[in-house]
């Protein structure tokens, strides 16, 4: 672990954190956390799920109070009783969960102005020409190219993430906290965000950047502070030793999570022939066989979620043929797909998986058991024992940090919420499992555990994983397929050999920061 390093004399500390400690009952979430953040500096905060990152951010943002320790802004002690007070002192955050980014039924323009409108209680001002000009200026500040008249609920996850970032930057913060900001962004969108952050740094804005993506850290971080079990486990300066940082984060070496074993050729579980996702899109074929994990990658908007939805029965193909175990596959609905052993974990867990806390079965057991009520019910009554058994098994298999099946997912960290999503779709045997962005909010150590769990259960099913990030695709997939413009355009190995790119503005699939694109030794004929 590298030693303590104060900001350089020409870069005065904007934020000084000293000895922050926080307990929730008998659980110590933070213990004596200390660090400085300089003007114009990007400090990356790393830590496994449950390491204390979210608690630290909530204290800095005025959501929680600390039990001990102090916070200073530009040398003046500060204590925040609310997020509004934190914003008044110049601390603004974009949180990992963007489910509550704004008001779904309001336009993007109104959501961008929501904070200032509420501050002056001028709701009558919303929707006018003046507000549209102000919202357009905010959007232009980060290069946000979205129709501002659209309602927030019609936006994709990536678009809502960009709205959240634009709304935060509009506060002109002294300290901007970003929690996994690129989790749902494509490579070009991520680079656009980094360009905005570079401009903010040049203006003296201090960045506290939380991410598990090594490419992000290499691109933006000046220093790294690692948390483990609520304590500072490491401090690293440029040149960043990210291997050592990851080791400090999880307390062990992080490597290949699961061996890949050759499988004999077999009849496909799923076959798509000359399929089109839209009338104007190119036709493509896709095959997935039992025991195989196929990763599908490509930029946001390439059609990955559309393809997953078509296989799951959420929307029809524009053309072409699908077969499941050699028989025509035309699911009438998601319920029909589940009945035939085709399961799907959607990209947005709050839209596709979790229930409002007021719903009686919103707990972990009810969340996991909901798709299988028909199978687990007897004489119209839910088999609670079956729910609890499945929940206990899921908690153990995926290492979910929870007190038990009765916990609400909303009380868990983002990474543990994602594990609940995956546990739901492993509660019953599947013939085909579709996972859309399964690693959102998951640290690299937990990703190893999840990859292992997914692959160990893949023997009797085909698994297709849809991810934006190529590193994640290589970590999970026996084969890596590439999508662009709503069509599968090839395998990563083939595209790397020919120098073809399918990632929009991304210069190539492979870079110095990305493992070589190659066909794994277990690729199928």
Domain boundary among 156, 172, 188: 172
| Tens of pLDDT, residues 246-286 | 788 877 665 444 445 555 566 799 999 999 999 999 999 99
Report pLDDT for 501: 40
Q: Are residues 32 and 144 in the same domain?
A: no
| Structure confidence by residue, pLDDT tens digits, 38-64 | 999 999 998 876 788 889 999 999 999
Q: Is 5 part of any domain?
A: yes
Q: What is the pLDDT of residue 117?
A: 64
- Do 367 and 409 touch, CB atoms closer than 8 A? yes
Whether 44 is covered by a domain: the verdict is yes
Looking at the fold, whether 444 and 422 belong to one and the same domain comes out as no
* Contact of 320 with 272, CB cutoff 8 Å: yes
Same domain, 164 and 179: no
Strand 284-289 and strand 68-73: the pairing is unpaired
Q: Which two tokens stand for residue 427?
A: 């509660």
Residues 46, 3 share a domain: yes
Query: Same structural domain for residues 337 and 444?
Result: yes
* Domain membership flag for residue 260: no
Output the six-digit token pair for 98: 């963007």
List Cα–Cα distances, 293 to 85, 274, 458, 464, in angstroms.
Answer: 48, 22, 7, 6
Q: Are residues 80 and 183 located together in one domain of the fold?
A: yes
Which residues lie closer than 8 Å to 453 by C-beta, 6 or more apart? 397, 398, 422, 426
522 contacts: CB under 8 Å, gap ≥ 6: 260, 261, 262, 263, 478
Is the same domain home to 297 and 434?
yes
One domain for residues 396 and 357: yes
Handedness of CA 147, 153, 156, 160 (dihedral sign): positive
Residue where one domain finishes, among candidates 128, 156, 172: 172
User: Which CATH number belongs to the domain containing residue 480 in this structure?
Assistant: 3.40.50.300
Radius of gyration for the alpha carbons in the chain, expressed in angstroms and rounded: 23
**Does residue 259 lie in a domain region?**
no
Q: Is 435 found in the same domain as 388? A: no
CB 358 within 8 A of CB 408: no
Domain enclosing residue 366, as ranges:
351-428
Three-state DSSP class for 269? strand
246: nearest Cα among 400, 51, 57: 51
What is the reported pLDDT for 519? 33
* 42 and 60 together in one domain: yes
Q: Are residues 74 and 5 in the same domain?
A: yes
Final residue in a domain of this structure, among 123, 138, 172: 172
Domain count, the chain: 4
Give residue 254's pLDDT: 53
> What are the angstrom distances between the C-alpha of 482 and each of 457, 503, 508?
24, 9, 12
Q: Cα dist. 172→63, 166, 501 in Å?
A: 20, 10, 37
Query: Is residue 211 in a domain?
Result: yes
What global pTM score does this model have? 0.58
In this predicted structure, what is the pLDDT of residue 494?
53
Q: Distance (Å, rounded) from C-alpha 504 to C-alpha 336?
A: 36
Q: Is residue 282 part of a domain?
A: yes
- Rounded CA separation 2/4 (Å): 7
Which parts of the chain have pLDDT scores under 70?
Answer: 1-11, 49, 96-100, 116-128, 184, 186, 252-266, 299-300, 378-382, 493-525
Angle at which helices 414-424 and 384-398 cross, to 10°: 120
- Give domain status of residue 95, yes or no: no
- d(Cα 450, Cα 452) in Å, to the nearest integer? 5
Domain identity same for 518 and 447 = yes
């Amino acid at each position: 672990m590298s030693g303590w390093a104060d900001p350089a004399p020409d870069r005065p500390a904007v934020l000084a954190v000293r000895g922050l400690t926080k307990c929730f009952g008998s659980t110590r979430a933070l213990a004596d956390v200390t660090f400085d953040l300089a003007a114009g500096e990007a400090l990356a905060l790393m830590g496994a799920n449950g390491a204390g990152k979210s608690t630290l951010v909530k204290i800095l943002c005025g959501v929680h109070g600390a039990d001990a320790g102090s916070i200073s802004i530009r040398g003046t002690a500060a204590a925040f009783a609310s997020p509004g007070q934190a914003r008044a002192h110049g601390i603004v955050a974009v949180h990992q969960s963007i489910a509550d980014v704004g008001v779904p039924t309001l336009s993007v323009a109104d959501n961008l102005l929501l904070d200032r409108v509420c501050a002056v209680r001028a709701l009558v001002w919303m929707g006018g020409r003046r507000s549209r000009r102000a919202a357009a200026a905010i959007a232009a500040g980060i290069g946000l190219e979205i129709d501002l008249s659209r309602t927030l609920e019609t936006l994709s996850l990536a678009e809502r993430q960009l709205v959240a970032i634009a709304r935060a930057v509009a506060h002109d913060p002294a300290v901007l906290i970003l929690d996994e900001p690129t989790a749902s962004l494509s490579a070009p969108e991520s680079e656009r965000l980094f360009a905005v952050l570079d401009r903010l740094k040049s203006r003296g804005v201090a960045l506290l950047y939380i991410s598990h993506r090594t490419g992000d850290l290499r691109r933006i971080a000046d220093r790294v502070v690692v948390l483990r079990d609520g304590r500072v486990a490491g401090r690293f300066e440029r040149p960043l030793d990210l291997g050592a940082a990851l080791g400090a984060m999880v307390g062990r070496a992080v490597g290949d999570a699961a061996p890949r074993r050759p499988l004999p050729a077999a009849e496909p579980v799923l076959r798509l022939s000359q399929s089109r996702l839209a009338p104007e899109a190119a036709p493509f074929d896709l095959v997935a066989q039992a025991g195989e994990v196929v990763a599908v990658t490509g930029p946001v908007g390439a059609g990955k979620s559309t393809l997953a939805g078509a296989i799951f029965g959420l929307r029809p193909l524009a053309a072409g043929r699908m077969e499941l175990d050699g028989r025509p596959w035309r699911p009438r609905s998601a319920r029909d797909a589940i009945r035939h052993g085709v399961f799907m974990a959607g990209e947005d867990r709050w839209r596709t998986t979790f229930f409002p806390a007021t719903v009686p079965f919103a707990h972990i057991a009810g969340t996991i058991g909901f798709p299988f009520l028909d199978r687990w019910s007897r004489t119209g009554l839910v088999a609670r024992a079956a729910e609890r058994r499945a929940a206990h098994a899921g908690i153990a298999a995926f290492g979910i940090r929870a007190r038990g099946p009765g916990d609400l997912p909303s009380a868990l960290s983002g990474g543990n919420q994602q594990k609940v999503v995956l546990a739901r779709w492993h509660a019953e045997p599947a013939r085909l499992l579709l996972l859309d962005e399964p690693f959102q909010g998951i640290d690299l150590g937990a990703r190893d555990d999840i990859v292992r769990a997914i692959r160990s259960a893949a023997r009797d099913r085909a698994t297709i994983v849809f991810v934006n990030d190529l590193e994640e695709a290589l970590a999970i997939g026996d084969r890596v397929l590439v999508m662009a413009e709503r069509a599968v355009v090839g395998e990563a190995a083939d595209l790397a050999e020919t120098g073809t790119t399918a990632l929009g503005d991304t210069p190539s699939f492979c870079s110095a920061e990305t493992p070589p694109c190659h066909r794994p030794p277990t690729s199928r004929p």
